[in-house]
Amino acid sequence: MPETAITVPGNEFERWRRGGAATAGLYVSFARLAFLKFLAYRLRYYTGVVSYTVFVAGNYYLFTALFASRPAGEELIGGLTLAQMISYVILSWVGRSFTFNNIDRTLAQQVVQGEIALQLIKPFHVQTVMLSEALGEALFRLLMFTAPILLVVVPLFGLSSPPDPALYGWTVLSFALAFLVNAQLNFLVGCLAFYLKNIIGVIRAKMVIMEFLTGVLVPFTFFPAWFQSAMEWLPFQAISYVPVTVYLGLRTGHDLIISLIVQAAWALGLFVLGRLLWSVSVKHVTLQGG
Amino acid sequence: MHDRSGDNILPRRDTSWGRRLREPRRQGAIIAAYFAQFLKSRMSYRVDFVIDLTANLFSLGVQLTVLTVLFGKIDALRGWSYEQVLFIYGFSLLPLGLFNLVGVNLYNFSEQYIIEGNFDRVLLRPVNSLAQVMFSSFGINGLNELVLGSAVMIYAGGRYGLSFSAVDIMLLPVFAVSAALIFAGVFLGLTSVSFWFEDRMGLAPPVYNVIRFSRYPLTIFHPLVRALLTFVLPFAWVAFYPAAWFIGGEEFRLLALLTPLVGILTFTLAYVVWTRGSRRYTSTGS
């Protein structure tokens, strides 16, 4: 006899609530463990701070030279002042240090080495586990990586404050959403390992393309109008261009809210897409040996 | 045993002249066998191999797009024209391609050879230890960079109205190889550090990330950065100075001619550190 048949209807909600809490607790513990794991490897991130300083410095000099070389009488390039451009460079790279994660690489490794079999027999949802772990990693990055990078590059190159102090809050929210979009996208890329096995090349291609399409390398306003409208329809802008332009005050009022909703919609949409792709891909799993 | 380098732990080699002359051929044959072995393993993931090449093309495409978009806004970058910057960029791909062909193994040397103890095997074989490490796998993408770099140079040079003299044509490969030696020297030096310290920090990535900015005219940087790139981390010599021989002003001509010297110096220094380091190597035990 099914268990539900003997439960009193009044207890349904209580049971659901407890089950929900237990599930949430499970995923929180994955996030916590990931945080602790990365904390153990924090030494590796010290040289990463140097790397990001190099990225910011190189682009700082490049764009400073660009502005110094602009035609006489023109103040702006791509609609930005030099101070805005420098803030753009700093925030793009600092933001990347926070939103970055290796879900794709980790998933691919588990598929190729066969560990995925052990994940599949456990009573949790792999996609949610990976997202929780990425959340733990993001928290680690924020405290031990992004914050030190900010402490180094802001005094060196000068980040101008946003036109309205409220934008600090909106920027943080927007970068949090950017992290979610990026994590979902990485999960989708990781799923390709079920079909291709070795996806190091795909991941490399993705990293190159993303630097460009998220707006980290050059602001979209430098490009022709058709390129800018094309970018509006892709999820990549939600990973860097949107949060950075929120900070610069280029999105105000109605626009600002819409931008954040679009980011959230991409996060949700890609999560659903990830779930679908996962359920199809898992059927492809072939494991070597027995 | 301590007075001998890691390469010579085995009984002394036959030092007669006939043997010495045959030695390079023998080592060459072994390296060719390494290459064949590598190709076999690499081709077993054919789809990924193709995607890897595509990734390389994407990367070049992105860089070219960025340059083109930036130069859409200005006439010249601190006096450097689009064609000049493009030429430097094209040239920079030649040494990078040459280095990537054999340098990939230096990146994960610490992990693969020191921590996992695989350097034992290298030392037991009668082939130069550095050659074994460098030639154990190949970055085929390097070929890609060589071809595309040449194409970019020819395009930029053509637009600039550049004419190559016989001397220029002779100097180009000399500069490219010398610049590749600088890459090899810098990364070999960093790798050799792991004989003294377990490189948990990963010193190579930040240095590698400097490369992408060494492709711009050096004069856009702060004088301090210029000095750093010239004297400390000599990446100014891997692209800007040698390329300036062809497209730059008179003031860079002498500096360009120093490129081979800087290359040999950097690599020799790194090789000395490597040899001293590999003498210190004590396996992981067990």
Please write down the long-range contacts of B262-266, taking CB distance under 8 Å and 24 or more positions apart. Answer: B262/B178, B262/B182, B262/B234, B262/B237, B263/B177, B263/B178, B263/B179, B263/B180, B263/B181, B263/B182, B263/B185, B263/B237, B264/B178, B264/B181, B265/B185, B266/B181, B266/B182, B266/B185, B266/B186, B266/B189, B266/B234
What ipTM did this prediction achieve? 0.86
Q: Residue B2: which pLDDT band, with cuts at 50, 70 and 90?
A: very low
Name every residue in B having a CB less than 8 A away from some CB of A.
Answer: 45, 47-52, 54-55, 58-59, 62, 65-66, 69-70, 72-79, 200-203, 205-206, 209-210, 212-213, 216, 220-222, 225
Q: Which residue has the tokens 């430097």?
A: B88
Given this model, what pLDDT does residue B132 score?
Answer: 83
Computed over every residue of chain B, the mean pLDDT equals 85
Q: Does residue B112 form part of some domain?
A: yes
Mean pLDDT of A127-155: 95
Q: Residue A137: which pLDDT band, with cuts at 50, 70 and 90?
A: very high
Closest CA to B135 of B127, B147, B146, B124: B127
Given this model, what pLDDT does residue A115 score?
Answer: 86
Contacts of A78 in chain B (CB under 8 A): 73
Q: Does the pLDDT of residue A6 top 70, yes or no?
A: no
CB contact under 8 A, B69 and A222: yes
Closest CA to A68 of B214, B74, B216, B213: B74
Q: Residue A163: which pLDDT band, with cuts at 50, 70 and 90?
A: very high
Q: Residue B14: which pLDDT band, with cuts at 50, 70 and 90?
A: low
Q: Does residue B126 form part of some domain?
A: yes
Q: Does the pLDDT of residue A2 top 50, yes or no?
A: no
Whether B160 contacts B247, CB under 8 Å: yes
Q: Does residue B286 form part of some domain?
A: no
Which of A47, A71, A198 minimises the CB distance to B206?
A47
Contacts of A149 in chain B (CB under 8 A): none
| Three-class SS state of A224 | coil
pLDDT digits (tens, 9 = 90+) for A74-104: 889 999 999 999 999 999 999 999 999 999 9
Domain residue spans in chain A?
A: 15-284
Closest CA to B278 of B126, B122, B134, B136: B122
Of the two residues B70 and B114, the one the predictor is more confident about is B70
Q: Does the pLDDT of residue B176 top 80, yes or no?
A: yes
Q: Does residue B1 form part of some domain?
A: no
Given this model, what pLDDT does residue B259 score?
Answer: 96
Q: What's the rounded Cα separation, in Å, for the pair A116 and A110?
A: 5
Q: Does the pLDDT of residue B146 top 70, yes or no?
A: yes
pLDDT digits (tens, 9 = 90+) for A49-69: 999 999 999 999 999 999 999
Number of domains composing chain B: 1
pLDDT digits (tens, 9 = 90+) for A10-28: 677 777 778 888 888 889 9
pLDDT digits (tens, 9 = 90+) for A186-241: 999 999 988 887 788 888 889 999 999 999 999 999 999 999 999 999 999 999 99
pLDDT digits (tens, 9 = 90+) for B99-110: 988 887 887 787
Token readout for B268 is 């020799």
Q: Does residue B285 form part of some domain?
A: no
Given this model, what pLDDT does residue B49 score?
Answer: 64
Q: Does residue B149 form part of some domain?
A: yes
CB contact under 8 A, A71 and B74: yes
Residue B89 belongs to what domain range?
A: 6-280
Token readout for A82 is 């030099």
